[in-house]
A and B are shown apart, each in its own frame.
Chain A
């Protein structure tokens, strides 16, 4: 109860894993742990969907709908009639919640 962060879009296919362990190097929350034959999905609920693991998996053993968990930008996108899932991300020229004068920042530029 009062925990919206128990679910994630992360999907792991251990049968495809070649145990290169790149995912364990790039995940900032230790979602993956080293295993004998393949890496283990150790802490799936800790996944923040940054997409680093999927981006760096050479055999597409990991899938995740990556994005930025920024309510400010998502609400702003919804109010402008835009897609909440695709409109917000950080660091771009348009549609960004970071560093754009026309839209107050959510502060993610300071991380």
Chain B
């Protein structure tokens, strides 16, 4: 999709010497075209970022036209940076390079960010070499060096790129905002090499997590409202909010290392007021109150724990080996808890219907 239309015109159709046509609105860009990017993040860009964070049309709406861009007034000696054709990635790079004349080679990563695309290989050796060749980069610059974001390394093999394109890959820092400092010496400090996962990074992931659970949450909440009452509906909403918003924010503060057990703990805490509300009805017998309290105490931790386990895919540190171990350790327990809690709730409802309580 066209960058100009969807990211608030960070590029223009200003063309370089290799240009054949202005193709900014073309679905398939001209390979040799050089577009012009600026470092300015416009209001439209910020709105695009906002929509991306909420998962709006993630598959299509946040793509940047891939190809070669000029930033400022680069010469043949100016540095070349590689990026993904995802607006958040591209915009982070171009805004970090404010005041720096450079070339930006945007790879076709199918609208996926650098790190995730590198994991799949779309931000990879083959695509980098192909992009270098089809854009005619070797005739644009006099040197043979390309600065690739460090998080692109899972997909980029520097020996292979060198062998196939004669370009030497230089892995830049993790964060684009460190590039100005990095460019002074072309050496990254240990801090620049480390990926972190601060509360702000965790919090911005919450909307897209919540959006994916919103529809089932609304359906369940409405059903519970009519079947049980508003408190039960609130319990459903609370469980989803705890799993998708509260959990990411509180992640490092919750005891234990496993995400599933962290979720069980958080879910248990969230369930307590509902257990008290449901299980202290003086008009019900003791066994009914016990079942009523047990229902949220079993279901809510299971739901929050499952949401927590799914958050592993958003983090910057979980390994596949560890996640797999978590799945085999805890998913069965989550299912058993959810089923047992549901059966307890159903038993209460049936008891009420047939007049036992």
The reply to whether chain A is a binding partner of chain B is: yes
A binding-site residues for B, Cβ under 8 Å = 2-5, 7-9, 22, 24-30, 46-52, 55-56, 58, 65-75, 78, 84-85, 89-93, 96-101, 104-111
A4 to B209 Cα, complex, angstroms? 23
Q: Which residue of A lies closest to B317 (CB)?
A: A48
Q: How many residues of B contact A (CB 8 A)?
A: 68
Partner of A55, one of B59, B157, B309: B157
Which of A3, A30, A49, A99 sits near B58, CB closer than 8 Å?
A: A99
Q: List 6 A-B contacts (CB under 8 A).
A: A7-B321, A28-B150, A50-B154, A52-B118, A52-B153, A105-B58
Closest residue on chain A to residue B322 by CB atoms: A5
> Chain A at the B interface: mostly helix, strand, loop or mixed?
loop
Q: Is the CB of A90 within 8 A of B312?
A: no
Question: A106, B310: Cβ atoms under 8 Å?
Answer: yes
A51 proximity list for chain B (CB < 8 A): 119, 154
Chain B 293-314 near chain A by CB (<8 Å), digits 1 or 0 = 0000000000000000111111
Q: How many A-B pairs fall under 8 Å by CB?
A: 204
B150 lies within 8 A of A25 (CB)? yes
A-chain residues with CB within 8 Å of residue B154 when the two chains form the complex:
50-52, 55, 66
Among residues 18 to 60 in chain B, which have CB atoms less than 8 Å away from a CB atom of chain A?
Answer: 52-53, 55, 58-59
Specify the chain A residue showing the minimal Cβ separation from B161.
A56
In contact, B261 and A107 (Cβ under 8 angstroms): no
- Check if B141 is an interface residue, CB within 8 A of chain A: no
Partner of B320, one of A24, A69, A72, A100: A69
Given contacts A109-B113, A110-B52, contact A3 B256 (CB under 8 A): yes
Report chain A residues within 8 Å CB of B55.
105
